[in-house]
Amino acid sequence: MRVAIMGAGYVGLTTGVALAYLGHKVICIDKNEELISLLNSGTPPIYEQGLRSILLEVRANLTFKTTINEDITESEVIILAVGTPPKADGDADLSQVEEVVNTLAGLLKPGTHPVIVNKSTVPVGTARLIKTMLGSGGSFSVVANPEFLREGTALRDFLYPDRIVLGAEDNLGVERLRELYASIISQDFTAPGYLTRPAGYFHPEMLVTDYNSAELIKYSANAFLAIKISFINELSGLAERLGVSISEVARGIGLDRRIGASYLNAGIGWGGSCLGKDIGALRHMAARYNYAMPLVEAGVIINNKQRVLAMAKLQEVLKDLAGKTIGVLGLAFKPMTDDLRDAPAIEIISMLLEQGARVKAYDPLAVNKFKKIYHYLPVECATDVMMLAKNCDAIIIATDWPEFKECSWERLGNLMRQKIVIDGRNILKPREMRKIGFVYLSMGQ
């Protein structure tokens, strides 16, 4: 099938390479010339598990361009995957969506009938808006098809999804998307060696619904996950006061199939480009209809509090932070990505600097991006955990990279000025850390 994707950012790029791997002929279009030049050279602009390998493998089926022309409208499926960043009031900025749709409206040819698929995360009512903007000629179909890709595992999530959600008003759009995703639904494609099919995975559920429901499903899913994290974080404070391990509590309640174990890791809270942005848009939508969402509001408050709590634990041990050297392990908001957007580590670093501390930082992937974006912050970036630990008065673990769990903390402690660890991700074992002489504080342990 011929597919055109508007936007070669995180969602557009991973969608494009995955569809190309499945045998579709894909064109990815982005007006960022530097980005397209990188992609045409075979260099991915982001880190994503398997992306570099699959990008090289699918070059025969994948083209990158900077301009939209009439040839694009001959594609059977046109996917919108442009950014919808938050405005100051939390509402989603649809200017990029509207720009692309206006361009397409002037190019659609009678009789071609492409299916316009929106994957950008947008407020309820956007699919209908897109349909209106494209005109009343009826030579197209519009489908709302939200993405559920997690950074770090986006390609795996695309190839082996839990569900595929389609919001549509005509059968042609639905059937075209069934054809597009046929090999994912049937799972009859050969899995890449670097992205093997999960054990026990069968096939995804396809949910066909209306426009508004599909759009609200996306926001609702992210809001629920954020609240689930905030719930375990709020409970972790009580666990500390009761002398209970929140990790054991999370394990016990996660064994209940109605609850599940995922997103029950207490720590310094969620970050990234999706949860906060989508919750902000959901709150803005609710406010437009004069509808209160206190549970969602509480989730945000609790999440923000966790970052401050980690600092409070550090001050509890060191008292005055001025002149102290603090190492921050992890910069990205989660492991297996170099994404720094709304990363808890960045806020913690800012608070440390405000308190007069000297800050050292290390991340397996995100150090170079951090130095480029936050070049104005006086932070010493280390090349490994040993370099970071040298002469530190304390270390804060801000990202749960496996490397931090597996390294020799006894060796690290010998390099530190004071053996103090604030484990913001609960990745270490309290008893073992204290046994080797650390003052060890975690979140709810």
Distance of CA 343 to the CA centre of its chain: 11
Q: Which residue in the list 28, 274, 381, 392 is annotated as catalytic? A: 274
Q: Is 274 a catalytic residue?
A: yes
Residues labelled as active-site residues: 274
